[in-house]
Amino acid sequence: MDFLTNILNILLFLVMLGVLITIHELGHFIAAKAFKVYVFEFAVGFGPKIFRKKKGETFYSLRALPLGGFVAMYGEEDTLPDEYKEQEIDKSRSLLGINRGKRAIIMSAGIIMNLILGYAIF
């Protein structure tokens, strides 16, 4: 019985962690989209892709390791992802192409969403 309880606790922990990470990354994503920053990919998890679908200009993916996630935005890296090499994206849609205040909101939006989640749970 203890073994089953431990397995259930681990699974519940992974589900809760997945929810927390998804809400956090969703904060960054929503803020970036609100300020018209080009988002290459919204991913939950790390590692190999389990699922990937493109809707509009953004890829949405679920990865194998549920211990993180990311929002890949134009201007975070010096180079474009391979899928976008031929595409001409306006510099004003990059993370560095917006003012610092908007950039700060995008970067802190994940934390703000976690605070809202905590408030909603209580």
- The label of the residue with tokens 């073994």 reads 3
Q: Is 83 an annotated catalytic residue?
A: no
Write out the two tokens for 20: 């927390």
Contacts of 58 (CB under 8 A, 6+ apart): 39, 40, 41, 42
Query: Count of CB atoms within 10 A of residue 60's CB?
Result: 16
From 25, 57, 76, 77, the catalytic residue:
25
The catalytic residues are 25
